[in-house]
């Protein structure tokens, strides 16, 4: 009889410990899930330019025009189906961004009219709505049978001077041979 009672007590104790372990694991999973949701919410808010800690990061908008001069860097590499090229580029930005830029561009043209691709890096130095400094833009663009797609972003942590912490995305428009830009960007609250 004593053995049965000890056995039952041991089983009850084991079941109780199992329940406590499961409850402890569940608390850890819930805490981890809440932390993950908070982290993802913070990242999402930061990427859209809204952070409530110590002031708000606000997405600003700049626009204007620019001129660009391209100069070939060596001979084009022609092969069946495509031509590869490299160019130095010099730009002058006007409007909300008063700056000069220097950079390099690699291109790939195809035998299909209106299809091509390019990548480029440019260092922009000047004043963005009163903030002086420099930053780097990274370009990635394609043209698919005449339909353009572009992605031009500020290289993370490339800002200097009053543009330290700059993030953003630039869009280029070309109408009647004239170049213009729209620039959505954020600077940390200290600026």
In 10 A of CB 136, how many CB atoms? 19
| pLDDT value at residue 165 | 96
C-beta atoms surrounding 28 within 10 Å? 10
Q: What's this model's pTM, rounded to 2 decimal places?
A: 0.69
Residue 152 forms part of a structural domain? yes
Q: What's the structural domain count of the chain?
A: 2
Do both 125 and 80 map to the same domain?
Answer: yes
Structural domain for 65, as ranges:
60-186
Give 146's Cβ-side CA count (13 Å radius).
Answer: 1
What pLDDT, on a 0 to 100 scale, did the predictor assign at position 21? 53
Both 9 and 99 in one domain: the answer is no
Which tokens belong to 109?
Answer: 């043209």
Strand runs labelled E in 75-115? 77-79, 82-95, 97-110
| Domain match, 43 and 98 both | no
Question: Based on the domain organization, do 133 and 73 belong to the same domain?
Answer: yes
Please check whether residue 54 lies inside any domain of the structure.
no
Task: Give residues with Cβ within 8 angstroms of 26, minimum separation 6.
Answer: none
Whether residues 71 and 161 share a domain: the answer is yes
pLDDT given at position 189 = 83
In this structure, the answer to whether residues 81 and 43 fall within a common structural domain is no
Q: Is there a single domain that holds both residue 27 and residue 66?
A: no
Give the pLDDT of residue 186: 97
| 147 lies in some domain | yes
pLDDT at 151: 97
Look at residue 53 and tell me if it is in a domain.
no
Query: Which one-letter DSSP state was computed for residue 104?
Result: E
Task: Flag residues of the chain having pLDDT under 50.
Answer: 2, 26, 29-43, 45, 47-53
128/65 same-domain check: yes
Instruction: For residue 155, give the DSSP letter.
Output: P
**Same domain as 142, residue 70:** yes
What is the number of other CB atoms lying within 10 angstroms of the CB of residue 170? 20
Answer whether residue 55 is part of any domain.
Answer: no
Beta bridge partners of 127: 98, 132
CATH number for position 167: 2.40.350.10
């Amino acid at each position: 009889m004593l053995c049965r009672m000890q056995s039952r007590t041991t089983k009850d104790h084991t079941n109780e410990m199992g329940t406590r372990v499961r409850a402890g694991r569940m608390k850890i999973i819930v805490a981890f899930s809440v932390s993950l949701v908070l982290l993802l919410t913070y990242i999402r808010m930061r990427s859209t330019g809204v952070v409530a800690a110590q002031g708000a990061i606000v997405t600003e908008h700049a626009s204007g025009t620019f001129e660009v001069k391209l100069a070939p860097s060596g001979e084009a590499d022609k092969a069946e189906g495509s031509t590869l090229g490299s160019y130095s580029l010099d730009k002058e930005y006007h409007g909300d961004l008063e700056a000069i830029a220097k950079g390099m561009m690699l291109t790939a043209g195809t035998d299909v009219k209106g299809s091509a691709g390019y990548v480029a890096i440019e260092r922009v130095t000047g004043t963005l709505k009163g903030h002086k400094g420099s930053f780097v833009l990274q370009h990635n663009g394609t043209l698919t049978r005449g339909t353009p797609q572009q992605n031009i972003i500020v290289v993370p942590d490339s800002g200097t001077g009053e543009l330290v912490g700059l993030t953003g995305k630039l869009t280029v428009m070309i109408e009647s041979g004239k170049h213009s830009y729209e620039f959505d960007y954020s600077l940390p609250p200290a600026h």
